[in-house]
A and B are shown apart, each in its own frame.
Chain A
Amino acid sequence: GAVVSQHPSWVICKSGTSVKIECRSLDFQATTMFWYRQFPKQSLMLMATSNEGSKATYEQGVEKDKFLINHASLTLSTLTVTSAHPEDSSFYICSARGGGQVAGGPHEQFFGPGTRLTVL
């Protein structure tokens, strides 16, 4: 149990276009979802936290108009990179945390496989 999927797994786009990444919790309800960004050979940096039905909370330095997050349901969150530029190329990882019914309890975050974005 506690599987998190992401789609697409990789995407290449032209500079100036927008890209949407989906994150789904497949077998549990994710009350909270997190979006991380990982640069090559570096750690995961938290971008934002979203709770179902409410606005996302962005970390300092993350442009909320650039990285639009929607957590419309308990199983789906989307990250849209608007007007992408080459410097937005990175590995984006979502994570989900559910309620007490999830294996591991409410404390554990489950990670998706990541989406590699390359902006030309």
Chain B
Amino acid sequence: AQSVSQHNHHVILSEAASLELGCNYSYGGTVNLFWYVQYPGQHLQLLLKYFSGDPLVKGIKGFEAEFIKSKFSFNLRKPSVQWSDTAEYFCAVRGGNTPLVFGKGTRLSVIA
């Protein structure tokens, strides 16, 4: 069974700082990888996803993620965060035809 590890529990950044959130997964076969965001009081929204092809994936709101197969990683990045990026970020993995498995999430707090 697959598992997902998000190393950062809570990240605090100033506006305009660069962001990188780590995500590592455990699964031996082909995977689909996702990053979801959950703004305070709202439901999950898909930021970006990787199925195949270019390992550098661009998503909404200026986010991108890079799939590094050799490292089993799918880190999320944004060059310059805004206050409105304050949210909980979840990495998720799907192996084969299985349901999505989520990491524990990383809370991002952006301060002015």
A contacts, CB < 8 Å to B: 34, 36, 41-46, 49, 93, 95, 104, 107-109, 111-114
Decide: A109 near B43, CB < 8 A? Known: A42-B105, A44-B90. Answer: no
Is there contact, CB below 8 Å, between B44 and A107?
no
What's the interface size class on B, roughly?
10 to 19
B contacts, CB < 8 Å to A: 32, 36, 42-44, 46, 49, 51, 90, 94, 99-105, 107
Can you give 25 contacting A-B residue pairs, CB < 8 Å?
Answer: A34-B100, A36-B102, A41-B107, A42-B104, A42-B105, A43-B102, A43-B103, A44-B90, A44-B102, A45-B102, A49-B99, A93-B43, A95-B100, A107-B32, A107-B94, A108-B46, A108-B49, A109-B94, A109-B99, A109-B100, A111-B36, A111-B43, A111-B44, A112-B43, A114-B43
List residues of chain A with CB within 8 A of the CB of B42.
113
Smallest beta-carbon distance B61→chain A, Å:
17
Is there contact, CB below 8 Å, between B90 and A43?
yes
- Besides A34-B99, A43-B104, 13 other A-B contacts (C-beta < 8 A): A34-B100, A36-B102, A41-B107, A42-B104, A42-B105, A43-B103, A44-B90, A44-B102, A46-B99, A95-B99, A104-B49, A107-B51, A108-B46
